[in-house]
Amino acid sequence: MNTKVKPSSKSIHLPTWLHNLIKYLEKGWHYLVVPPLVEKAKRLEHEEKKKQKSKDEDDDDDFEIDYKRATSEFFRRLFAEFIGTMLLTAGHGADRLESKRGLISNESAAFNNGVSLLFLVYSLGGLSGAHFNPIVTMAFTARLVFPWIWLPFYLLFQFIGALCGGLIIRALFGGTYAALGTNSVDTHVTTVASCFKWEIFLTFCLLFVILQTATKANIIGSQAAIAVGAVAAFDSLLGGYYSTSSMNPFRTLGPSIINNSTDNRHSLWIYIVGPFLGGLLAWVVVSLLQGYLPKSKNEIISAHGEELNNVPDEIDV
């Protein structure tokens, strides 16, 4: 007589403490990938879409967050910041190196600096907000339009991107000339004090335009990239001769770690402290002009990028 043994249908019961731990970890991860500020932007965007639909349509589309998709978007944002910072660092370093070797003029280097930022903002702005600069990220956070919990992640990936940008400079031009691609003070042309003042002023100009265009995102839209690229070229043309117009601590720190600099990193502090003070000054001025709190969801969206949230992963044909 054959006896068939039925498979057990009992489910695995986890201990209460482990079940609670998993639940808290899940809630913590959801808070990370969709902080309250981002959730607010998503909700406002959803409500606007519902208003645009025809009144004759039955709209049972309640607001709901897809955390699986949000996780993918979070990592895409970080990867976009990594790629953008890497290319920006490598491009700036290459311009500086070729300018110092007399291969291109200072005017050409300034134009290249603006154009490179222009195409990077156009191509990656909708993914991450196109910061590529720790000063920009900190300024948006201080403006309360960027989630504070994302700040260390953005800074980390920007820093790694800057290091990789330094490696690209070394790979393209070789170790002999790589140090020329790192920002440093040329004491034959200017003084340390003068360079420091220029870095503060140039960074102020850049951050002022970035923060101001973000407050007008509903009017300017993607054309903000033109204003940002133009002010970057303006800064490089105006002050590049005196300070090399870094305006970005990581854009100098990354190549300096990888390739050193022509002054053995003695002026590195200028390109860290100067941009920080310039960005702080720009934040104060913009806050006085626009108020210390964001006035629209457009400023929030432009600060962290929302393109992927509004486009389906798959398009039905």
Distances (CA, A) of 119 to 84, 112, 207, 238, 291: 10, 11, 18, 21, 30
Instruction: Residue 196: give the domain boundaries.
Output: 67-310
Whether 166 contacts 96, CB under 8 Å? no
pLDDT of residue 313: 44
CATH number of the domain to which 290 belongs? 1.20.1080.10
Residue with structure tokens 């002010």? 231
> Which two three-digit tokens encode residue 163?
């290091």
Any domain includes 182: yes
Q: For residue 244, which of 271, 218, 222 has the smallest C-alpha distance?
A: 271
Any domain includes 29: no
Those residues with Cβ within 8 angstroms of residue 253's Cβ, 6 or more apart along the chain or in another chain: 159, 162, 268, 271, 272
Tell me the C-alpha distance between 155 and 222, whole Å: 24
Any domain includes 11: no
Q: Buried (b) or exposed (e) across 262-281, using 16+ Cβ within 10 A?
A: beebebbebbbebbbbbbbb
Any domain includes 267: yes
Any domain includes 15: no
Q: Find the DSSP H helices in the chain.
A: 16-33, 36-52, 67-100, 106-128, 134-142, 151-177, 192-215, 217-220, 224-243, 249-259, 270-290, 297-304
Kindly report the pTM of this predicted structure: 0.88
Residue with structure tokens 């992963």? 313
Tell me the C-alpha distance between 245 and 182, whole Å: 11
pLDDT of residue 311: 45
Tell me the C-alpha distance between 137 and 62, whole Å: 32
Domain count, the chain: 1
Whether 146 contacts 156, CB under 8 Å? no
CB atoms within 10 A of CB 167: 18
pLDDT tens string, the chain, 317 residues long: the values are: 455 555 555 567 778 887 778 888 888 888 888 898 888 878 877 777 777 765 545 555 677 888 888 899 999 999 999 999 999 999 999 999 998 888 988 889 999 999 999 999 999 988 998 999 999 999 999 999 999 999 999 999 999 999 999 999 999 999 889 999 999 998 888 899 999 999 999 999 999 999 998 877 655 666 888 999 999 999 999 888 788 889 999 999 999 999 999 999 999 999 999 999 999 999 999 999 988 877 677 778 888 876 544 444 443 33
Distances (CA, A) of 116 to 188, 260, 270: 29, 24, 24
> Which two three-digit tokens encode residue 161?
């991107």
Any domain includes 2: no
Any domain includes 61: no
pLDDT of residue 308: 47
Those residues with Cβ within 8 angstroms of residue 309's Cβ, 6 or more apart along the chain or in another chain: 42, 45, 73
Any domain includes 42: no
